[in-house]
Structure 1
Amino acid sequence: MNRHEMRKTAMECMYQHLLLNRDIRKCVFEAVGSNKIDSFLYALTMGTVENEYAFIRAINQYLREDWEFSRLSVLEQAILLISFEEILAVETPKAVVINEAVTLAKQYCDDDSYKLINGVLDRL
């Protein structure tokens, strides 16, 4: 799996975790089909869940005053959370993370979601 595919897998796992309240470890195991998980994918999933509430508070600061994290679609939430983990903990260059997050949003979210995701991540 290349990094783009791992980001997509992380997004899918976070989506399940957020929407269905599933244990992230089960989601990742089912997605990978093995206990051998790449360290990058591990960081994007397990690390994100460890920092989930801190990231949600931070994301709320970057949204407009009349919006909050809970109003975002679950896919937007998942993309933003894994992106925060990747920028802040994995320390991937911000431009790379924004590009990948926008690509995922264009593929899987509503038409204008990528603009919101780009705006939040750019302000980070």
Structure 2
Amino acid sequence: MKRRTAREKALQALFQIDINEAGPEEAIKNILHGETMDPYLAELVNGTSTHLKEIDERISKHLENWSVNRLAKVDLNILRIAVYELLYVHDVPSNVAINEALEISKRFGDEKSSKFINGVLSKIKDGLNQ
């Protein structure tokens, strides 16, 4: 499975976890539809779930006049995956993590999603380099 596909499936799994309160393993199983488990997909879903509090705090610090609870679930989970990659996946360059999030937001979000996501992730990335 390509990493873009793994990210898209991770988005779907994290969305299920948010909406249906499914566990990570159950959510992954639901979105695979019998396909073989991909290690990167498992890492994204399990890692994001494990570090959810820290990731949400990081996102929260860079929202202006918004709270994490008010964000669209799709946008929030795209941000969560990208922040997980920025903080914990050392073989993915920051610009790649951000670009992938933008491409996925164009496919799954609304017309304003990519601009919003780019702004938040750029601030988070800048904070990492200080």
Match of 1:16 in 2: 16
Name the CA distance, whole Å, in 2 between partners of 1:58 and 1:99: 19
Percent identical residues = 29
Using structure 2 for the length normalisation, give the TM-score: 0.88
Match of 2:106 in 1: 106
Task: State how many pairs are aligned.
Answer: 123
Name the CA distance, whole Å, in 2 between partners of 1:44 and 1:9: 10
Name the CA distance, whole Å, in 2 between partners of 1:95 and 1:34: 32
State yes or no: 1:71 paired with 2:57. no
State yes or no: 1:80 paired with 2:79. yes
Question: RMSD between aligned alpha carbons?
Answer: 1.5
Gap runs ≥5 in structure 2 = 125-130
Name the CA distance, whole Å, in 1 between partners of 2:43 and 2:82: 11
The answer to whether the 8 A contact 1:7-1:41 is kept is yes
Give the aligned residue type for 2:51.
N
Runs of 4+ in 1 over 6 A off after TM superposition: none
Using structure 1 for the length normalisation, give the TM-score: 0.92
State yes or no: 1:94 paired with 2:85. no
Gap runs ≥5 in structure 1 = none
Deviation at 1:44?
Answer: 0.5
Deviation at 1:31?
Answer: 2.1
